[in-house]
Structure 1
Amino acid sequence: MTDYRTLLDAETQAFVEHTNAFYPPDAHLLPIARSRAIYDKMCRAFSAGRPDGVTVRTDAIPADRRSIPIRTYRADAPGDAAVLYFHGGGFMLGGLDSHDDICAEICAGTGCETVSVDYRLAPEHKDTASLDDAVAAFEWLAETVRGPIVLVGESAGGMLAACLAHGVRNHRRAPAGQVLIYPSLGGDMTAGSYVTHADAPLLTARDVAFYNAVRTDGRDVSGDPRYTPLAEPDLSGVAPTAVFTAQCDPLSSDGEAYRDGILAAGGQADWHEEQGLVHGYLRARHTVGRARESFARILREIVRLAAPQRQEARVG
């Protein structure tokens, strides 16, 4: 059994305890409305607010007899690149408010216009509803901005960003890159970190299986790349990728496997396993030194992935 008392420093342990304090022992049995209320309360408690120099606008974009809420963040001195951001929450939780401060800091820290997508959630909307919304948001953004687009996703949003990256790799405005933060990518749950960190703080292997089952009504979609990016048989042409995972997280091996798959297909990919951190550590970026350092690395990767095409955009 993994001893997290030796892997987590005092700051990270305090973050884990603070997070757990919001949840009752039977949290997995709660009605979805109650689960969402607890999650939103927890996110508000960790919110650092928006930094100065960022303006925010909430809108909705049309998409096939529906509208998709989005929130756009712009820096006072913006660059010409844009970030399309997908929040975490197991495809069941979260929205524009739950990750508002993170998006605002991504905008401030990179200069990129950042668009957060309030995609449809399970269990009300299952199957590919969230991916359909992601595709629609990308198509809208591709028609709206001139500069390069970097996809960024956290946890479930990381899976969504990767599925989107696969689907639009041949688009005339194909993404300049993608940054995936402790993503769920559909890896082998009988090996690697799924075993070593099956009972990790804040996210267990059982939690991963639960969220996957809710999204798909318990159907086996392990071979369908619309749900599991690691099921994609051909990763050639996928945008340059940076994956950040937490060491103490059952999902960490997914990042390694995805990097290896892209490299084997001739693409560009880096994997960063952040030592001594747990799933959801972005919420701790102001209280945990390791999380703060990782967030800085994430911002640098976003800038790096956008930069090569910025010059092309100016020249063109």
Structure 2
Amino acid sequence: MIGGASWTWWVGFHAAVIVLVVVDSLLTGAYRSDKANQRIALAWTLALFVASGCFAAWIAREDGHALGLQWLAGYSIETSLSIDNLFVFLVLFRGFGIDKGRQHRALAWGVGGAIVLRAGFIVVGVTLLQHFEWITWGFGLLLLYAAWKLLRGGSAKEVIPEWIRKLQPAKGSLLPVILAVEFTDLLFAVDSIPAVLAISRNPFIVYTSNIAAILGLRSLYFVLSGLLDRLRYLHYGLGVLLAFVAFKMLAAHWVEIPITVSLGVIAGILIVCAAVSLIAGNREQGSGIRKEN
């Protein structure tokens, strides 16, 4: 056993990741129209969701329902927080004036780098928790701070450091954009990894659920790119989500929250925030139309 799973599971998972990354990079590109790319991205995103659900079901069958649900909860949290990451990508691409074709390449490099960064963070986080129990409090307080930043009204855009905003787009080079994408993903990993560690301490569950969520980040960006500006209240929901996860981590010694309850809370928060955001956006659009008339 290595990190909660046999070496064959680790090898098999990484082989699947390599195949999925290659397929993802080939499906969409500048040589197709925006509508075609969006349809393909939507189909691929749904396919990845189904594959992730099947993987969770397989873990539940092989290692028990508890671990299967932990994987599903970790995947849900990471996917939810990744949507906030997409806001930052959108701001970066607009700020650098990157067209859709170059966005595909920048995101492909970004996803590859994110996999390496998250792997390192997870190894460090799990090791610290195994040797120093008090680190739990540090992670919990870090999540509370992140929740407070979001609930006080700060959006994901504010995580972009000033030096990145001042970078000038390099002619024909994506290097500054890729570096900015990797740096902002590093900042988000500081919040998202402790959040998943609050759900499970099993390295295989934490790592694979994180990587599975990141695999769909590129296609999810093109699916949601037209809706990101309308999801104005999402950061409040993510703040509540991080606060809940922080409470789960800090109170673990006294209160055990069932994983099914955690999944219900995560789903409920995201559904309410998305619905309120879209309803508010539709009302504003309706008001604008009436004023013009």
**TM-score of the superposed pair, with normalisation by structure 1:** 0.28
Higher normalized strand content (fraction of residues): 1
Asked which structure has the greater CA Rg, the reply is: 2
Higher relative contact order (CA 8 A, sep 6+): 2
